[in-house]
Amino acid sequence: MYVAVKGGEKAIENAHTWLAEERRGATDVAELTLAQIREQLSLAVNRVMAEGSLFDPDLAALAIKQARGDLIEAIFLIRAYRTTLPRFGYSNPVETGEMACDRRISATFKDAPGGQVLGPTFDYTHRLLDFKLAADGEIPEAPQGPARQEPTPHITEFLKGEDIIQDEPASDETPGDLTREPMEFPSNRPLRLQSLTRGDEGFVLGMAYSTQRGYARNHAFVGELRIGKVVVEMDIPELGFAIDIGEVELTECETVNQFTGSKTEPPQFTRGYGLVFGQSERKSIAMALVDRALRWEELGEDNLGAPAQDEEFVLSHADNIQATGFLEHIKLPHYVDFQSELELVRKLRREAEERITQKEAAE
Amino acid sequence: MSEYNFAYLDEQTKRMIRRAILKGLAVPGYQVPFASREMPMPYGWGTGGVQVSAATLTPDDTFKVIDQGADDTTNAVSIRKFFENTAGVATTEETEKATVIQTRHRIPEAKLREDQIIVYQVPIPEPLRFLEPRETETRKMHSLEEYGLMHVKLYEDISQHGAISTAYAYPVKVSGRYVMDPSPIPKFDNPKLEMDAIQLFGAGREQRIYAVPPHTKVVSLDFEDYPFEATKADHPCDLCGAEDSYLDEVIMDDAGNRMFVCSDTDYCRSRREAGHVGRLAEENAA
């Protein structure tokens, strides 16, 4: 007896209720607060802010809680929220040279004005599970020193004096906006950087890694990596001048890349650039490597056919919200397409069998 | 949901989408880039269709959503609910009563009228995409009307399989100019693409909108000696007896017995209400 499948609405509702229950987990365990997520899972919060393209640690914490810790799902929640927000205007470009650095390291100079500041890094931790953390979570107090008062200059500025590093021409042109105009190819560097900074960390990492392994190798040194807070300023038309509207935490990476020159450029060092919301070190280094690889044309290099050099390939597949949506849509019903394929395959098989029978009869 | 604008999108965004729709209608079959927004449902789940519907709906409209021809498939339910919540428009399951119909993978069996708009959800708007993955190349091919590659593909199908092996998303030429992907509708539906209603196609992830105005010539690509054929399962509907509707095949038991039912649930229901009876209808009613 056939009864058509009905009741999608009720099923959806029940699935949502069950999901909410699963999200909460065992009720004899205390519920997570947003402040706990914001303070204790801050790198997850940072990733959600970076790929969600919205700097708001509290909302990111909410998204992580709602998404049961699935960061791509959390990024999606943030993106969907962000797109409904009205645009009041655009801030002035932030000045990362004025950053109050928590961390600032250079792999190219042993020392430079501003010094090497390790900051809160995993780098030299031994990756041993800390069972004590499971027991109490007590922490020793970190020693404090006086904060540097003057701005920390960018390392690349020192190379610039020698004219040995490629110059980035300054421009007052307003860059395009990836979220307001459809992406078209060939694009340009501002749009590429926008796409990379919100691109999936895993994807950008994989692309960057491929350049290190020889697919368009561009031998990058981390000229500088800095993490800290910068002030955001905005021009207020009614006032006629810019005011501070807040501060954001950023990670900035400038790579210095070996370059022996090309048909159009003299031998000199070239640059890749990464800038990401929050403490997002891996992402910003990866971004800088991919940025550098994508600049082959501007630097007169050969197109080696490497994936990381291919702007359309990289930018079309970097966004995890687009990727996950399309990937997961194959869960949706496709009965109609499948039915049409069934009929086609049956027809082709029938015809093929007939041909074989005819051939056998003829023999 | 009252904190959101009518039909969710802000007026600025709707205006941008309407411009793209108008451009699409002015150049039938041409893919107009538009600044697709993140929607509160995933890309690939109808965000293009939803944005086009949002920009098209007025408070007086009656909205119908189908997926695979059915009003009660989960994603159709979800999208209908979204507009009930954000636009408060009337909804219906009856093709006849709807003024705007959003669809995934089907065109309703009932003939659509001039005062109706059908909005298709499109996953990959580029008909040449699987022949040439680069957008930079395919746009050039469209502008030069360079469709040889597509004909070569169809020809190779015939030489290898004895038939064109495209069963859905079968490419069409619109108004004698642009080759267009009609979205993954079965090729059975292709002849219906010449209709009285306005047809709008939205691809959210791929940021494209295109359109076919009413009464526009839409030709399924073929060869003189291998003409296009709109095929369906060679059965009548087991519930309503219709011989002219597209059918879903349903597995009924562990022995693998099958039945065939209309994929257009509203069409099937209205026929049964009008007294048409299929092979298994009585049994079903019992």
Count chain A–chain B contacts defined by CB atoms under 8 A.
Answer: 154
Rounded to 5°, the CA angle A81-A83-A87 comes to 115
How many whole angstroms separate alpha carbon B9 and alpha carbon B20?
15
- Shortest CA distance from B264: residue in chain A: A336
Looking at per-residue confidence, does B193 or B284 come out higher? B193
Please tell me the predicted confidence (pLDDT) of residue A1: 36
- The predicted model scores a pTM of 0.91
B268 is catalytic: yes
Q: Supply angle C-alpha B198, B204, B209, rounded to 5.
A: 35
Residue B72, judged by CB atoms within 10 A of its CB (0-12, 13-18, 19+), counts as: middle
Which range has the worst mean pLDDT, A259-273, A283-297, B87-101?
A259-273
Rg (CA), chain A: 26
Average pLDDT score, chain B: 94
Q: Do B252 and A8 count as a contact with CB atoms less than 8 A apart?
A: no
| pLDDT over threshold 60, residue A195 | yes
Neighbours of A130 (CB within 10 A): 11
Q: What is the arithmetic mean of pLDDT over B4-24? A: 94
Degrees to nearest 5, angle at CA A241 with A240 and A243: 135
- Chain B positions in Cβ-Cβ contact with residue A2 (cut-off 8 Å): 238, 250, 252, 259, 261, 280, 283-284
Q: Cα–Cα distance between A346 and B6 in angstroms, integer?
A: 48
Q: Whole-angstrom Cα distance, residue B213 to residue B207?
A: 20
pLDDT tens column, A48-107: 999 999 999 999 999 999 999 999 999 999 999 998 888 888 999 999 999 999 999 999
Tell me what the mean pLDDT of segment A275-286 comes to.
97
Q: Which of B24, B29, B69, B278 is catalytic?
A: B29
- Round to whole Å and give the CA distance between B145 and A186: 21
Range scoring the smallest mean pLDDT among A254-268, B93-107, B263-277? A254-268
pLDDT of residue B162: 85
**Cα–Cα separations (whole angstroms), residue B100 to B83, B113, B115:** 12, 11, 9
- B28 pLDDT tier (thresholds 50, 70, 90): very high
What sign does the CA torsion over A41, A46, A48, A49 have? Answer: positive
Distances (CA, A) of A280 to A222, B11, B38: 15, 35, 23
Q: What is the pLDDT of residue A7?
A: 61
What is d(CA A159, CA A134) in angstroms, rounded to the nearest whole number? 47
| Predicted pLDDT of residue B282 | 65
Q: How far is B181 from chain A (nearest CA, A)?
A: 14
Taking CA atoms, what residue in A is nearest to B44?
A326
Contact list in B for residue A176 (CB cut-off 8 A) is: none
Per cent of chain A over pLDDT 70 is 98
Summarised one tens digit per residue, pLDDT across range A105-115 is 999 988 888 89
Whole-angstrom distance, CA of residue A182 vs CA of residue A225: 32
Q: What is the mean pLDDT of residues B60-81?
A: 94
pLDDT at B283: 55
Look up residue B30 and give its two tokens.
Answer: 């041409």
* Mean pLDDT, rounded, of chain A: 92
Over residues A152-183, the pLDDT tens digits come to 999 988 887 777 888 888 888 999 999 989 99
**The pLDDT value given to residue A2:** 45
Task: Give the model's confidence band at A3: pLDDT under 50 very low, under 70 low, under 90 confident, else very high.
Answer: very low
Question: Is the model's pLDDT at A33 over the cut of 90?
Answer: yes
CA pair distance A29, B97, nearest whole angstrom: 52
Nearest to A12 among B67, B77, B186 (CB): B77
* Closest Cα in chain A to B77: A9
For position A168, what pLDDT does the model report? 86
Question: Does B262 qualify as catalytic in the annotation?
Answer: yes
Contact B134 A312 (CB under 8 A): yes
- pLDDT one-digit tens code per residue, B246-280: 999 999 889 989 999 999 999 999 999 999 999 98
**Cβ distance of B38 and A86 shorter than 8 Å:** no
**Those residues with Cβ within 8 angstroms of residue B135's Cβ, 6 or more apart along the chain or in another chain:** A184, A185, A312, A316, B126
Cβ contacts of B249 on chain A, cutoff 8 Å: 339, 342
Question: What ipTM was assigned to the predicted interfaces of this complex?
Answer: 0.88
| Count of beta carbons in the 10 Å neighbourhood of residue B46 | 32
Sheet holding B198-203, edge to edge: B32-33, B208-212, B198-203, B117-121, B100-104, B62-67, B90-91
Inform me whether the pLDDT recorded for A4 exceeds 70.
no
* pLDDT tier, A234 (very low <50, low <70, confident <90, very high otherwise): very high
Per CB-CB distance under 8 Å, the chain B contacts of A326 are 43-44, 123, 205
Among A2, A312, A321, whose Cβ lies nearest the Cβ of B135?
A: A312
Peptide bond into A186 cis (omega under 30): yes
Give the residue from A5, A81, A321, A339 with the most B CB atoms within 10 Å of its CB, the best one to mutate.
A339
CA distance, residue B253 to nearest chain A CA (Å): 9
Coil/strand/helix, residue B203: strand
Cα A130 to Cα A296: distance, rounded to the nearest angstrom = 45
Most confidently modeled range among A166-170, A348-352, B55-59: B55-59
